[in-house]
Amino acid sequence: MGSLKEVRTRIASVSSTQQITKAMKMVSAAKLRRAQDAIIQMRPYANKLREILENLSQNLESSAGGAYTKVRPVNNVLIIAVTSNRGLCGGFNANVIRTVNRMIATRYNELNKTGNVKVWSIGKKASDFYSKQKTMFAGQSNTLFTELNFANVAPLAEQFMKEFVDGKYDHIELVYNHFKNAAVQNVSAEQFLPLQPPTSKEKPVNKFIPDYIFEPVKEDLVKELIPKALKIQLYKSLLESHAGEHGARMTSMNKATDNAQELLKALKLSYNKARQAAITGEILEIVGGAEALNN
């Protein structure tokens, strides 16, 4: 047990930390509400757009989607890792990095040995990790979360789409945290390109398909909708990750605040015991001195 001064210093330090974690929890809760509203509003639009695209693609040849649906032998792979710019959010960032590393080690191990697997990081935490691996690091976009909107995300999606069409990459994967609720974020790995039409297994059985009159023809509509769908997919993924970050941070700060409270209880108990021991010692010294004078 430390001295009274040491225990008092620790109590003051833990109390200060508890105030910080409590404030960070409240800030994250406020930001989570806005981020959650944004992703809830985006999901119906993104899902409906993909449903329309799938309905249009059901009776078309696979080549009708143009260059974005073209399947080539996989010789060069790009993995887009989406993390946050800040820490203190539990395993939020580590889970994405771990998933990307596992994907590279298992699915693309042979290509990685020849340097044909690249990682593009969105968020400083992924950039800090992969920028040290020069042969693997393809680039970074760390300012998107500063002002997250479709206008800022669309140019990055267009860059990935152009690199795929030009043949720089044959396969592009997207790894991010899918927001479920404030306490749960599931790491999701999605194929970004090539975009494949639904297979026969994905087609609903006995589902009524409306017979629309299309103007212009289906092929032109598909080619127009695919770039928009890809941009929306990337934007939606960033919104999911953004909401998940604040949820993870709020949960982490809540746990940190509770842990600080438990630690304060233990420190105050130790302080009281040390104080009682010091008082008892002083009383014994006084009694002993008084008896010595009487004798």
Can you read off the two tokens belonging to residue 220? 């032109």
Distances (CA, A) of 220 to 53, 198, 217: 12, 18, 6
Give 110: exposed, middle or buried? Use CB within 10 Å, 0-12, 13-18, 19+: exposed
CA-nearest of 28, 76, 29, 282 to 194 is 76
Catalytic residue among 14, 89, 96, 222: 89
Could you confirm whether 35 is annotated as catalytic? no
Pair 43, 237: CB distance under 8 Å: no
Q: Please report how many Cα atoms fall inside a 13 Å half-sphere around the Cα of residue 37, on the Cβ side.
A: 5
Q: Using CA atoms, how far apart are residues 173 and 157, in angstroms rounded to an integer?
A: 13
Tokens of 93: 């960032």
Query: Contact 53/222 with Cβ under 8 angstroms?
Result: yes
Question: Quick one: tokens of 287?
Answer: 């009694």
And the tokens for 102?
């596992």
| C-beta separation of 136 from 117 below 8 A | yes
92, amino acid identity: F
Unique residue bearing structure tokens 């605040």: 257
* Amino acid found at 151: A
Whether the bond into 198 is cis, omega within 30 of 0? no
Q: How many CA atoms lie within 13 A of 272 on its CB side?
A: 6
Distances (CA, A) of 119 to 34, 88, 102, 136, 237: 30, 23, 13, 6, 16
Positions annotated as catalytic residues are: 89
